Amino acid sequence: MTQSHTPSAQITIVKCPTCQAEVEWGEQSPFRPFCSKRCQLIDLGEWAEEEKAIPGAPDMSDADGWSEDMGY
């Protein structure tokens, strides 16, 4: 993220996470941080297809040693 300094206002520029185009962060960029609706939907599709994930502890709900068959 880079910032341009002007006497009257400070403008923040970010890179689109999908295509790396520069996007001005403000009301004039309704899809921020994305440059367009297209890039926003590409990113959403990657999350929906589980191509992207937030790292965390593995789900242990099925492997925690408890089973209905074992009479617990």
Q: Per-residue pLDDT for 37 more than 90?
A: yes
Residue 19 known to bind ligand: yes
The residues with which 21 forms a beta bridge, in sequence order, are none
pLDDT in the model for residue 7 = 54
- H or E stretch at 42: helix 37-48
- pTM tops 0.85: no
- Is 16 known as a binding-site position? yes
39 among annotated binding-site residues: yes
Neighbours of 14 (CB within 10 A): 18
pLDDT for 61 equals: 67
What is the rounded average pLDDT for all residues in the chain?
A: 83
Band of the pLDDT at 9, cuts 50, 70, 90?
Answer: confident
CATH superfamily of the 13-49 domain: Erythroid Transcription Factor GATA-1, subunit A (3.30.50.10)
Task: Enumerate the domain spans of the chain.
Answer: 13-49
